[in-house]
Amino acid sequence: MSGEVETLKILFDRYKISEPVSLEQQEYIIKQRKSDLKDLLKKSGGYGFIFWLSVLIYDSLRKFGIQATLVQSKILLGITAAVIVSGSSTGAYVGAKYIADMINGEQIKIEEKIKKDGTGLIDSDKKKSGQDKPSDIKKIDDKSTQESVKTRKAAEKSIRQKNDTIENKKHKSELESDPLSEVPTL
Amino acid sequence: MKRSKNNLNIFTETYMKYYPQILSLILLKINDIEDARDLCQEVFIIFYEKCDSIYNIRPWLCGTMKNVLYRYYASKNQDVDIDKLFNSPELAFTNGFRDTRIIINEAIDHTGCDDEERIIFDLIARHNFSYENAARILGYTRRQVEYKYTQLVKGVLAYLKKKGITDIKELL
């Protein structure tokens, strides 16, 4: 078949049907195509940043041999933009949350007033860290943070667990103390 | 001069397909790349204004190119002869091989190819574009372009056979 292609080429040359363009000019024409389109769209008032982005997608898809229309390129651009926006906003949110947790977890300083039995209020202005034992905390000013509430809850929970374990032990010992003779025989 | 978005899409797709061919033709006529680019832009600006009322894009672009080139020559030389100027197979047939050229051009027109196949044929057969460059312009792979071009050559040869030219070497 390449023989037929060659023969047709000779035929075209013979009858001056072909008007050859040099390889350098071919390269130049292909390179100028996009920049000339940009100029032309600017001149005619059809240029827009989003439209130009869709043209770039259209052109780059075609470079890879994908026959997409300009409308399909616009849809692809829309999807890509939506994915990028949602991804980056999620990333920013997670990052901000992580940083906030890091800052809060390091050291929380709470100004508190400790009330001693019978002696009344003691303005201690004591600075306590968030890791202090919750049993020490008797009264927290209006400035109380979520962290102190959390520690209080944890302390209550641990007390409840201790009580549960004591009760379980008692129950076990009662069961063990029951004499076997009380078991009815057949 | 604002156009609807659909027209803008049609214009852009047409421009991307036909720009290399139109610029090549203008460049072959005037041999000045900067002027050729300006004239090519002029052709496509006119197309942009009228693209919603054009059905046969290729003949329309060639005709407009002829008018734009004529105006360009007329601005430089008042006594320009349009027939001499466009002595090309694309626009006129006025040399010694007239009949054969008409048959060959008929064969090209009757191959039943679509717009893109016609562009492939024109770029490779007429303007000597390489398969790679034609593929870059139209967004195909090299192999696809080569295959399509081979099929088009087959179509042209089949038409010539129908017209009584059994061996292409008879014409050489």
ipTM for this model: 0.82
State the Cα–Cα distance between residues B87 and A46, nearest whole angstrom. Answer: 36
CA-to-CA distance for A55 and A77, rounded, in angstroms?
Answer: 10
pLDDT band at residue A183 under the 50/70/90 scheme: low
Say which range, A56-60, B51-55, B149-153, has the weakest mean pLDDT.
B51-55
A75 touches chain B (CB under 8 A): no
Q: Distances from the Cα of A78 to the Cαs of A52, A123, A166, B4, in angstroms?
A: 13, 62, 64, 19
Q: Would you say the pTM of this structure is higher than 0.80?
A: no
Q: Is the pLDDT of residue A160 over 80?
A: yes
Q: For residue A17, name the pLDDT band (cuts at 50, 70, 90).
A: confident
In this prediction, residue A13 has a pLDDT band, given cuts at 50, 70 and 90, of confident
Position B91 pLDDT exceeds 50: no
CB of B45 closer than 8 Å to CB of A36? no
B122 to chain A: nearest residue by CA?
A18
- What torsion do the CA atoms of B79, B83, B88, B94 make, to the nearest 10 degrees? -130
Across the interface, of A12, A23, A37, the residue whose CB is closest to B125 is A12
Rounded to a whole number of angstroms, the distance from the CA of A82 to the nearest CA of chain B is 21
Determine the residue type at B166.
Answer: T
Single-letter residue type at B122: D
Q: Do A14 and B16 touch (CB under 8 A)?
A: no
Q: What is the mean pLDDT of chain A?
A: 79
Cα(A126)–Cα(A93) distance, rounded to whole angstroms? 35
> Which of A6-15, A73-82, B15-24 has the least mean pLDDT?
A6-15
By Cβ distance, the residue of B16, B126, B168 closest to A33 is B16
C-alpha distance from B120 to closest chain A C-alpha (Å): 13
Measured between its terminal Cα atoms, the distance across chain A in Å is 106
CB B37 within 8 A of CB B12: no
Of B41, B127, B169, the CB nearest to A21: B127
Average pLDDT over every residue of B132-137 = 90
Q: Across the interface, do A70 and B40 touch by the CB < 8 Å criterion?
A: no
Whether A65 sits inside 8 A of B154 (CB atoms) is: no
Whether A66 and B139 lie within 8 Å, measured CB to CB = yes
Torsion B112-B118-B124-B126 (CA) sign: positive
How would you label A54-79 residue by residue, b for 16+ Cβ within 10 Å and e otherwise? bbebbbebbeeeeebebeebbeebee
pLDDT, tens digit, for every residue of A82-128? Answer: 999 999 999 999 999 999 988 887 665 666 676 666 555 555 444 44
3-state SS assignment for residue A122: strand
Confidence of residue B94 (pLDDT cuts 50, 70, 90): very low
Asked whether the predicted pLDDT for residue B22 surpasses 80, the reply is: yes
